[in-house]
Every structure is written in C-alpha cells, then in structure tokens.
Amino acid sequence: MIRKNRHGRGETVQSIRRGATTLRTPNITAAAQEELEAAGSDAERIESVASLVHGAFTDYYGRFRAIAHLAKTAFEARDWPASLALSQERLGIYGATVNALVPVILLHCPDVQGKDAFWADVEDQYLPMIDGLYHADLAYAFLNSVRRQVHADMWRASTYSSARARDEETAPHPVVTRRFDISGPVDAEQLVPVLTLAGFTRSWRDLDADAAAVAARLREAVREPERINGIEMADAGFYRNRGAYLVGRVLRDGLDPVPLGIALLNEADGVLVDAVILGSDDLQYVFSSTLANFQVTAEHYHEMAAFLFALMPDRPHGLQYSTIGYNHIGKVAVIRQIERELRETGEVLDYAVGSRGTVAIGFSAPSLGYVAKVIRDHPTAGYKWGVFPGVRSVLQKYSRVHEINRAGSMLDNIIYYNVTLPADYFTDALRQEILEAAGDNVIQTGAGLLFRHLIVQIKMIPFPVFLEGATEEEAELAILNLGQCIANNAAANIFNKDLDGRNYGISGIRKVYLFDYDAIEDLTDVKVRTNLDRFDGEEDIPDWFFEEGVIFLPEELETHLRIQNRHLRRVFRDAHGDLLTLEYWTEMQGRLDRGEVPRLTPYREECRLRPGG
C-alpha cells in the first residue's frame, strides 16, 4: 500500500528531469527588445510587438527543426541520454519561448492585457511577415499562444485556430514519399534501397542478411505477395528513444496497400532490422500517443500527417500531427474534431463512464472518441493524500506526462487554456456540478462555458468496467497487460502512488494505460520498504512509519489494485510476481539513478525478425 507521510502532507511534483542537457534559453534579441522599449506611439508598439513575436518564432522554429536531425545523429552515435534530452527539449521549447517572450512584452507594454483592438492590429502587422511560409499556420498559432499567455490571469476566451494562415485548397502539397518499384518476387536486392533510405553514417551489421529477412517476411505475411509491385515509403527517418523507424506501405496490383513499419536498432556491432510491422493496427500502436513523440526529418508536416492518416485511418488526423511533434497543429485539429462531432451527432457531454474522480470531473459523449477533464477547486471527501496541493500542481503533473517518454503505458493529454464550449453541449447536471465544483476555473459567459483549463485524452474503458463484461480469456489478458503497464511506467520513472485499478483504462486492442495523473511521483523519490522482514507477532511500529515522503510496500500492491477475483490475482502473481518484491523496485530505482535508458519494445514479439533476441 502507498502511505502518505506522517504529517499528512501531499507531495508536489518535481521539475522535469532533462537528462544530459538543459533546455536552451530562447533567443530574444536585444535589438528587438530595445526597439520595443523605444517605441513611443501605439503604432510603433504594435509594429515592434509583431516584429518581436516573429523573431522569437523564427528562432524557435529553427531550433525545433534542427532537433530532429540531431536525433538522427544521436541514434547514429548510440547516445541514448542525448536522444531522450532532445525529445524533452523539442516538447518544451515552444512553451519556453512563449514564456520568455511574454514578460518582455508586458514589461514595455503593461497595458495591453485585454486590449482586443491592440492585438488585432498586431495580427494585421504579423500576417504579412509570415505570408507564403509553408509553416505559416504554426507561426499564426504561435502568435495566438503569446496572446493567450498575456491574458493568462484574465477571464478571456482564446481562439484555437490556424485557419487564417493556410488555405488547404490553394496551398502547395509537396511529395513526402518515395516509391520503390518491385518486379517479380520480393527479394533482398530490391529491399536494400528501402532499408537505406534514411542515409545513416553508421554501418550496418549485415545489410544483405536483413534485406533478405525482410523480403522473406513480406512474402510470408502479405496476402497474395505475387501481386506486390512496389513499396512507398515516407522519405524520412522516424527517431524515438533507442530506435529508428522507416514507415510506408506495400503496394499490390488491384489490392489495397498494406501499411508497413520497419523498426531499426543500432547495436554495438551496427544497425540492424529488429522488426517488420505490417497492418494498420500494429503500426497504430507503434505511433500511439501513449509513447513519446517521434523526431522526424521531414519539413512538410501537413503532407506527412496526411500520409500517416492514410496508413492508420482509425487514428484521428489531429493526433498524427502530435505524434510527429507538431502538437499545436494537432491541438487545433482535436478541438475542432470534438466540436464537429458533437454538432453532427447531436449528442451532449455527460459524466464519463466509470467511477467519479475525487480530483477531476471527467465527461464525454457516447460517440466521441475523447474524454475531457476539469480539475476541481477542492477534492471530494475520498481524497487520500492529505493537504491538496492545488489545481496548478495537478496541471503540472499532466503537463509532465505530456513531456516525457510515456513508455507505451500512459495516455498523452492535451491541455487547453481559456477555451469556450457552448453551454448546450452539456447536460444540466454536469454543467451545474462543473460550475459549482470548479467555479474558480470555469464560468458561464452568455451561451458558453469558459474553461481556464481543459484536459483532453483519448477515450478508454475504465479497467474495472472492462472486467465486469469480459470473458475469462479477455480478463486474463487485461490482467497481464495491467502488470506490464505498471512495469513500463516504472521504466519511465513514473510511480502512481494511487495504484487503484480505477485509474487505469483499456483500449480496443486490450492494452492497459494509466490515465489519471494527480497522484504520480518520480519513482526515484519513492521510499520502497517492506514488512516481510518482520517476525511473526512483532507488534512494534516499523521504522519506515516515521519516514517523510511516499512509502511503498510492494507486497501490498496486489491488494491495492482491487482485483477481487482470486483466479485473476493468481494470474497476476504468476506473471508479475516480481512487482511484489522489494528487489524489483530498488533495482529499477538504481538503473534510473545511473541514467540508464531501459529498452521498451512498442510492437508485438511476433513482429520481430529474431523473436526473443
């Protein structure tokens, strides 16, 4: 069981560990600041602010694009800590740039908060600066982020839009794929150009053997392989953690293409193919938002997201942007999708399926693929962790999960600030509770609810709800995946001190994910203790009882998960008995303290060319 400290105080989240590097300080030029400081009239201030925002965005975007190529270099050098640090920097650099820019604007223009006319004029000056840029929509989203942050302490609705900066009908659509023609049976010689399209400087362990093995897998696994006439690949490498991926589809004469992923590793003796991933479902899991974003060496993100959507049509288009690092474009797409689906179905938002949260109010609609949450001003009576650290602390934890490697076992989340949803989207009971229980962060303005924060996640079936209707075979698989979820989280230095099964959800492919983050801690900060070393009948208070911080007794994990069925408890113990031991958790803490990056495999064992290797 997890214990709060003896004083009943909750723990606050620590700052994000950034590996071997720290986040680069955004470059906001002294000249631009001096120009703003010297501005005497409103017209001069408007022009200076527009120029300052444009310069900050240009600096940000240059670094953002460079990071993807540095990730390739880190893969080639087998520098895994650098790979993780680059991933974290790429996620954090947008917010860091905005946060560095806003105080400069407010220092020299302290009266611009809430002045819509001022910001409309800034926008008019800014739009010509970004006109014609491929990434103009991202540049426009950046301006909106700055404006939103300037108004952060005000009840001010913000626009989540990039529509004014990009016309999809007239915008150019560069080609982001390469086609490799196949004549006759797929063989090794025809696969070598496919495997080497990323252009690694690192040598291969045995390129010809890997090409032959991939060709054999395609001949075995693709239906009617004699009709294969080509392979179309994204003209880029996809980098994440220790691995690299090549992504595309197998083309067949008269038949639908087969989505294809090729997973690469860089071992001490060279680059090798670890897995061939075929089919939309398996590829979709590799691209899941429960994993860290990919670093992709491709400039044209709209076309790349469209290509990925063609490969994985069951995954929302907006999330394809997020997966390749363009979170703010994906953010706009997701909120627009939610609004569109509610209008088209006529459904209304009501309480999410499962137990009511003590810290958050969760809501969704029957056909909607997302769940939204708002944090309560104060937790309900069921709160376990002493003094509530506040809404800001909880949001920091959700933000942290967005910025780390989620290990395939934690849902990513999007946090919207100052967003308005029509009041008639909600049932009366839900709307009333939101306004009463989260009134410090939600108000009704005319016909809408204005949320200071709104958390959005992909919808999952709560774990206990799934077990209620599952067959014995389905329940056993879910229990096995629950243990794997907990182990993966540990490898990402995430410990959920509220190990209650109600904080976990299950997807359509029966994977289990943690989705509630108000009780997460760094595993390296948790004090792992045991009572198994005590003598029978020993009644004195154990030493750990007097320690500060979060105390975890592994032998009580099974009870804490609330698995009532004896057979399922036995299944869990047989498969994941190591999670009930002091040794497992202290060894994992040691590995994390040493800066080791545990290897996580985000594809089925059957996809590997050398299963068990």
Q: What is the mean pLDDT of each run of 10 residues along the chain (613 residues)?
A: 37 28 59 77 90 93 93 94 85 87 88 86 94 91 88 62 53 86 93 96 96 96 94 95 93 96 96 96 80 84 94 87 86 87 94 92 95 96 88 90 74 87 95 96 90 92 92 93 90 88 85 88 92 65 80 88 90 93 94 77 84 64
Distances 189 to 130, 210, 214, 577, 611 between C-alpha atoms, Å: 45, 11, 11, 47, 24
Given this model, what pLDDT does residue 4 score? Answer: 41
Give bridge partners of residue 347 from the DSSP assignment: none
Given this model, what pLDDT does residue 534 score? Answer: 63
Catalytic residue, candidates 210, 274, 282, 412: 412
Given this model, what pLDDT does residue 165 score? Answer: 46
Catalytic residue list contains 350: no
Q: How far apart are CA 498 and CA 70, in angstroms?
A: 38
Given this model, what pLDDT does residue 25 score? Answer: 59
| DSSP β-ladder status, 243-252 and 238-240 | antiparallel
Distances 532 to 2, 6, 325, 581 between C-alpha atoms, Å: 16, 21, 46, 10
- Reference 363, options 284, 436, 259, 433; nearest CA is 433
| Residue matched to tokens 């955004």 | 26
Structure-block tokens of residue 438: 């989260």
Given this model, what pLDDT does residue 539 score? Answer: 61
Q: How far apart are CA 580 and CA 574, in angstroms?
A: 11
Structure-block tokens of residue 265: 């590793």
Distances 256 to 248, 280, 307, 310 between C-alpha atoms, Å: 13, 12, 15, 11
